[in-house]
């Protein structure tokens, strides 16, 4: 892969695009799905900043950048601020270069809490204040979880709130074809116990319940890590999950091994998976969901994140041809609530300016979420954003899972050291479905982690 890094503000400007009032996607007041009152109130409070400039650096490129620009246009229209957005193919490295060079943007948007923690420790981020942390806790589904992911130690060693959540991704999902369920007389399971009963019933009926594919080229194995993470959250408290991710609880702790073996109840049961156990590691994750759509279907269920419809057959209508349900929790563990596994982008101030603070206030308005919601590929845990603003019913239901979650946790492998989360964990899960025991795999991963010290 060719890596291209552009250093400094001058190069950033070359990549920047500017939002303007002429680009408004929806005329204010016309689309009743959107909370226009929040927009007008924000405009009255911050409409005196004309002529000032706000530089934002973020991860979105291509279609996502176009969608983000459609949101920025409303901020620019309300405030008169000249908004410049820039990105890079290697945005993680670029933000480090720019902050260290003393030429940061006003706002940085990143999906990596770990990278933010490093920037905060070096004094490159501006604390957002306890009142903003309280606002997120009170207004977001699983708000305390989101506050935790934005709280880091600053250069002085004191913890502070540095990163505001905006745009989330959902992973705790199982996809299925409603017509297949209806014809077979199956009902969507509401508990994990019911999910196993349904899987057993499908086998008894002579069919296969699951399609599971771990193939992904050099990244083969990562889909299994998502399974284990989701099961960790359904077998243990969020705090236990956090200790596992930070290795305070060792990878071969019995609680972790139990989650791996629970995944094995699905993936290592030859009657449960299309193609048998041997096909799990060799099937590409992009091809795996296609089994849902065979006639007859090769499988009835597929656990994967909200992005997977991109690999469904062309013309598939979500909600009709394909649908999803929340990966259920165990009836035997009601105390764990409704945990959600996912990811998200976080917004931080790298310069404490009036336009930057105004943008942070803008993100507290429903309209800042609803404009993107009404188009595509945007989910939010913000409870005041109107559910009817979502572009389709599938997104609305995904959003509901986020707003009603009792806890939210980022993908654990993404938070672990790269050689573990994107290395030993991936390969270990391939070894596991290949026949190695959960304890042996977990011990190998822990040895790799110990080797980093």
| Residue the block writes with tokens 């991860």 | 59
> What phi, psi does 238 have (nearest 5°)?
-60, -35
Cis peptide before 440 (omega within 30 of 0): no
Q: pLDDT value at position 453? A: 76
For residue 112, give the nearest of 160, 59, 156, 64 by alpha carbon.
59
Residue 130, burial from CB neighbour count under 10 angstroms (0-12, 13-18, 19+): exposed
The span from the CA of 100 to the CA of 280, in Å, is 44
Q: State whether the Cα torsion 398-111-447-279 is positive or negative.
A: positive
Distance of alpha carbon 401 from alpha carbon 442, whole angstroms: 31
Residue-level pLDDT at 19? 58
pTM of the model: 0.93
Number of C-beta neighbours around residue 246 at 10 A: 11
Q: What is the pLDDT of residues 373-397, one digit of tens each?
A: 999 889 999 999 999 999 999 999 9
Helix H, strand E, coil C: the string for 197-237 is HHHHHHHHCCCCCECCCCECHHHCCHHHHHHHHHHHHHHCC
Report which of 265, 286, 161 is spatially closest to residue 215, judged by C-alpha positions. 286
pLDDT at 151: 98
User: In whole angstroms, what is the distance from residue 380 CA to residue 141 CA?
Assistant: 9
Which residue blocks in 53-186 are alpha helix, DSSP H? 62-79, 91-100, 113-121, 130-139, 143-149, 178-184
Please identify every stretch of the chain with a pLDDT value under 70, giving residue numbers as ranges: 1-22
Question: What are the respective helix, strand and coil percentages of the chain, to the nearest 5?
Answer: 50, 15, 35
List phi, psi (to 5°) of 111. Answer: -95, 10
Burial string for 396-423 (b: 16+ CB within 10 Å, else e) reads bbbbebbbebebbbbbbbbbbeeebbbb
Tell which CATH architecture fits domain 173-338+414-450: 3-Layer(aba) Sandwich (3.40)
Q: CATH 3.40.190.10: which residues of the chain?
A: 8-169+342-410, 173-338+414-450
Q: Which helix (H) or strand (E) holds 170?
A: strand 164-170
- Enumerate residues 6+ apart whose C-beta is below 8 A from 27: none
Chain centroid to CA 142: 14
The three-state (H, E, C) secondary structure of 317-385, written as one string: CECCCEEEEECCCCCCCHHHCCEEEEEEEEEEECCCCHHHHHHHHHCCCHHHHHHHHCCCCCECCECCC
Structure tokens belonging to residue 84: 């410049």
Q: Which of 87, 45, 93, 96 is nearest to 67 (CA)?
A: 87
Which of 147, 107, 98, 148 has the alpha carbon at shortest distance from 126? 107
For residue 54, give the DSSP letter: E
Domain 8-169+342-410 has CATH 3.30.420.10: no
Burial of 374 (0-12, 13-18, 19+ CB in 10 A): buried
């Amino acid at each position: 892969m060719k890596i291209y890094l552009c250093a400094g503000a001058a190069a950033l400007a070359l990549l920047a695009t500017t939002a303007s009032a002429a680009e408004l996607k929806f005329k204010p007041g016309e689309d009743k799905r959107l909370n226009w009152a929040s927009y007008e109130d924000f405009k009255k409070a911050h409409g005196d900043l004309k002529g000032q400039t706000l530089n934002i650096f973020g991860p979105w490129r291509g279609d996502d950048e176009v969608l983000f620009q459609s949101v920025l246009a409303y901020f620019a229209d309300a405030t008169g601020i000249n908004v410049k957005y820039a990105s890079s193919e290697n945005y993680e490295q670029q933000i480090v270069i720019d902050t260290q060079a003393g030429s940061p943007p006003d706002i940085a948007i990143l999906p990596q809490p770990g990278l933010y923690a490093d920037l905060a420790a070096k004094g490159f981020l501006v604390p957002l204040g306890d009142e903003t942390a309280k606002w997120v806790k009170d207004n977001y589904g699983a708000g305390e979880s989101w506050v935790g992911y934005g709280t880091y130690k600053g250069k002085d060693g004191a913890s502070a709130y540095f990163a505001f959540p905006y745009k989330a991704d959902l992973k705790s999902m199982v996809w299925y074809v409603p017509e297949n369920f209806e014809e077979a007389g199956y009902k969507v399971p509401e508990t994990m116990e019911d999910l196993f009963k349904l899987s057993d019933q499908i086998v008894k009926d002579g069919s296969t319940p699951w399609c599971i594919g771990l193939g992904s080229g050099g990244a083969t194995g990562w889909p299994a890590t998502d399974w284990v993470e989701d099961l960790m959250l359904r077998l243990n408290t969020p705090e236990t999950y956090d200790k596992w991710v930070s290795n305070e609880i060792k990878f071969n702790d019995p609680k972790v091994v139990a989650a791996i073996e629970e995944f094995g109840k699905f993936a290592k049961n030859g009657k449960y998976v299309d193609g048998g156990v041997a096909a799990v590691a060799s099937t590409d994750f992009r091809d795996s969901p296609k089994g849902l759509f065979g006639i007859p279907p090769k499988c009835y269920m597929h656990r994967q994140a909200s992005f997977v419809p991109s690999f469904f057959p062309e013309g598939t209508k979500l909600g009709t041809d394909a649908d999803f349900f929340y990966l259920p929790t165990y009836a035997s563990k009601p105390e764990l609530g409704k945990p959600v596994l996912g990811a998200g982008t976080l917004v931080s101030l790298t310069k404490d300016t009036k336009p930057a603070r105004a943008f942070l206030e803008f993100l507290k308005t429903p309209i800042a979420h609803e404009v993107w919601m009404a188009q595509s590929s945007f989910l939010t845990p913000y409870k005041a954003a109107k559910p009817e603003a979502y572009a389709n019913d599938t997104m609305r239901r995904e959003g509901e899972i986020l707003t009603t979650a009792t806890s939210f946790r980022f993908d654990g492998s993404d938070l672990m050291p790269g050689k573990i989360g994107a290395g030993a964990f991936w390969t270990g899960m391939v070894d596991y479905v290949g026949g190695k025991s959960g304890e042996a795999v977990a011990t190998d991963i822990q040895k790799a982690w110990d080797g980093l010290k």
